[in-house]
Chains A and B, each alone.
Chain A
Amino acid sequence: QVQLVDSGGGLVKPGGSLRLSCVVSGFTFSDYYMSWIRQAPGKGLEWLSYISTSSDYTNYADSVKGRFTISRDNDRNSLYLQMNNLRVEDTAIYYCARVAVGDDAFDLWGQGTMVTVSS
């Protein structure tokens, strides 16, 4: 079964850190670029980060550059998002997504994991 399973969300204080994980199954993970996308409560979608198949290329939204780090472990079929120096405005559902080959649409999404940043 082709799926992405997000985990690692929770409640954290401002300035704190959290590491999100996304475990994939049903396809060859190492063949696909991957991304993280978030959605604040009641708001729209915001693309955050992008990583190539071999991790030699990454890209970030300005809102998280320098605070968040995307990584992957192809042997473990896993994608990660290390989030440091969290802010209240980082409160959102975080989704991992597979990047379709050739057109960069997000063709497969995890179920999302909720991150709440609050004192």
Chain B
Amino acid sequence: DIQMTQSPSSVSASVGDRVTITCRASQVISTWLAWYQQKPGKAPKLLIYAASSLESGVPSRFSGGGSGTDFSLTISSLQPEDVATYYCQQANSFPYTFGQGTKLEIK
């Protein structure tokens, strides 16, 4: 199975800050990588697919990058509504696997 490791596990930043979350795959997955945002008590929401493609309706302050084994999710200017847990997921091969999550809080 492909292991997905996110860092950091939690991050606290101020409104307006640039925030980057990283995700590392245990094997090469090309760009078969998605990012999700989950707010408390809600279902996850797709933000980024194919490593760098922004899902329709997602604010442009979110961006994704990387290929192979190393990926990143960046929020260019943190907003209060971005408080959530973020997950990466590989879709290169079964079983599909998620990272352990990164909890983002506002300072």
> Inside 8 A of B98's CB, which chain A residues have their CB?
44-47
Contact of A107 with B46 at beta-carbon distance under 8 Å, contacts A45-B89, A47-B96, A62-B95 already known: yes
B97 touches A109 (CB 8 A): no
B44 touches A45 (CB 8 A): yes
Q: How large is the interface on A (under 10, 10 to 19, 20 to 34, 35 or more residues)?
A: 20 to 34
B91 on interface, CB distance cutoff 8 Å: yes
A45 touches B87 (CB 8 A): yes
Among A12-20, A80-88, A97-105, the stretch in contact with B: A97-105
Please, how many angstroms separate the alpha-carbon atoms of A60 and B94 in the complex? 8
Number of A-B contacts (CB under 8 A): 61
Contact of A103 with B32 at beta-carbon distance under 8 Å, contacts A46-B98, A62-B95 already known: yes
Closest residue on chain A to residue B55 by CB atoms: A107
B100 on interface, CB distance cutoff 8 Å: yes
A110 on interface, CB distance cutoff 8 Å: yes
Please, how many angstroms separate the alpha-carbon atoms of A44 and B4 in the complex? 12
Return A109 CB to nearest CB of chain B, in Å.
4
A32 on interface, CB distance cutoff 8 Å: no
A104 touches B87 (CB 8 A): no
A103 touches B43 (CB 8 A): no
Chain A residues in the interface with B (C-beta under 8 A): 35, 44-47, 50, 59-62, 95, 100, 103-112
